[in-house]
Structure 1
C-alpha cells in the first residue's frame, strides 16, 4: 500500500468527519413526518425541503440510507410516510408488500461521476484511459463504490467499470459503502484513490471544492430511474410535499444538481 501525502490525509480526515456527521439519522426539522430518502439525494432534498417550508410553513424530516435497507425497514413497519428510492425496483417491492398507496412515480433520473480528491494520483487522470495503469500497481490504494447489492448507484458504478474495461483491475482494490453517502465518506477520508459517486454529490459541497470529477456517460450503465411513493400512513403534510416535488421550483433544484427531470 502506497504512502499518502500527510496534508491530503489530514484534509481527508476533516472532511470525512464532517460528512460522517451529516450522513446519519433524520434531519431537517425538529418535528414533522419522516420521509425515507436514498442517500444520493441528501443535498438536493434538503434544499427542496427549505423551499417547501418557505412556501407552505410545513416541515418534513428525512431518514437517509441505501434504497434496499430503507425498503426493508418500510416493509417491516418503520414509521415513514413516504419513500424516495434511487431504484424504482425497491418501490415496487414496497408496493407488493402492501405498504404504499400505489406504485408511485419517477421523480428524476440520476447520473454517476468518477471522483478524485485533492492529492490523489487520479486527480489529473482521464477516465477511463489513464486509470488502468494506476489501479494495476501493487501499491495502489483502495477505490470506493457503493455496494452493488444494496445501492442502485453502486450497481451503476459496477456496470460503468465493466463497460470501461476496468472491473478486473479495480475489483481487488474496491471498498464498498453501504450507501452512496458512506462511499463518499470513504473517498474524502483520504484512505482511497477516489471512487464513483452520484453526480449530485460531485456538484455539492464539500466535494466540488476538494477534488475533481468526470461525468460518466449515461450509456455506460442502466438508467438510474428514481421513483417515489406515498406510504400507507401518509398524512396531509407529506402529501403536500409529494405534490411539491413536481412543481417548477423543486424541479429546478433537482436539475441544478445534475438530475434529469421530465
Structure 2
C-alpha cells in the first residue's frame, strides 16, 4: 500500500472518530426538544380572554404546553386545598388564593391581582326585553320566566349578581325565577341556548366573539355589588416554577393587560 493511500485511510479514520465523539457530546434529540408543561385552574369568566392569551404565550415560549381547566373559583379552592395537581390558580375572587396562602399552599405567599370583573344583564338579540333602558327592572317583566345567574354558593359572579339584585330592590320579586349555573360560563350558556330568558353574566363573556353578536346587554352599575377583585397565585407544588412565573408575568405585562381590557376587565389599579 503506497503512502498516499495510507494517508487517506488515516485521515478518514480521524474524521469518523471525530464525528462519533461530536455526536456523543450532543444532547439526545428528545432531550433537546423536551416540552415544558403548565396546568392552570381558571375562573370561567376568563375562558375567551385566557384562550387568546395562552396562544400568545405559546408563540413566545416555543415548546411550552399550557393546559387550562375552567370552572367555579369556589370549587377550585376546595380541590386545591385537597391537593389537586394544578400549577397556577386564577380566581374570580382574590380571597380564594389568599386562603390558599393562609394554608401554606402558595409559593412564597405570592398572591397577585390581575383584573376587576364586571357584571351585565344579557339577553339574546331577538329578545323583546328592553334591557338597555330597563336595566335590572327588566327582570320583573311578566314575560321573564327564568333568570340565569351563577350559583352564589361557590361562584363569585353569582354572589355579585345576588348582591346586585338585592341592592336594586328586585331580588324578592325575581328569586323564584332564578336558575343557577355551576359557574359563570354555564350561566351564559343557559341564556344563550334559550334555557333562560335573561342572564346576569360577566362582561368578559358578553364581549367574547362567541356571544358578542348573539345578544344585547346592559352593564350593572359598579356600586350595585361589591368590587370583584380577581387574583391568582402560583402553587407551592408547581412542577415548573420558572415557567409558572413566566406565565404570571406575561399575564400581568403589557400584552396581558391590553387583552384583559379588550375583554371588559378593569385593571386592579383603576
TM-score range, shorter chain: 0.7 to 0.9
Q: Report the Cα offset of residue 189 of structure 1.
A: 1.5
* Residue in structure 2 matching 1:51, options 50, 56, 72: 56
* Residue in structure 1 matching 2:91, options 85, 90, 95: 85
8 Å CA contact 2:38, 2:67 repeated in 1: yes
8 Å CA contact 1:116, 1:123 repeated in 2: no
Give yes or no for the alignment of 1:148 onto 2:152: yes
Q: Which residue of 2 aligns with 1:177?
A: 181
**Any idea what SS the aligned residue of 1:126 has?**
helix
Larger Rg belongs to? 2
Q: Report the Cα offset of residue 230 of structure 1.
A: 0.5
8 Å CA contact 1:91, 1:103 repeated in 2: no
Q: What count of residue pairs does the alignment treat as equivalent? A: 230
Q: Report the Cα offset of residue 119 of structure 1.
A: 2.9
1:97-148: CA deviation from partner (whole Å, max 9, x where unpaired): 22111141111111011101133232555233751551xx3x6320000011
Q: Report the Cα offset of residue 196 of structure 1.
A: 0.4
CA RMSD of aligned residues (A): 1.7
Scaled by the length of structure 2, what TM-score is found? 0.81
Scaled by the length of structure 1, what TM-score is found? 0.83
Whole-angstrom distance in 2 between the partners of 1:123 and 1:34: 42
Q: Which residue of 2 aligns with 1:237?
A: 243
Q: Which has the bigger relative contact order, CA under 8 A and spacing at least 6? A: 1
**Any unmatched runs of 5+ in structure 1?**
1-29
8 Å CA contact 2:120, 2:202 repeated in 1: yes
Give yes or no for the alignment of 1:99 onto 2:105: yes
8 Å CA contact 1:31, 1:61 repeated in 2: no
Q: Report the Cα offset of residue 256 of structure 1.
A: 0.3
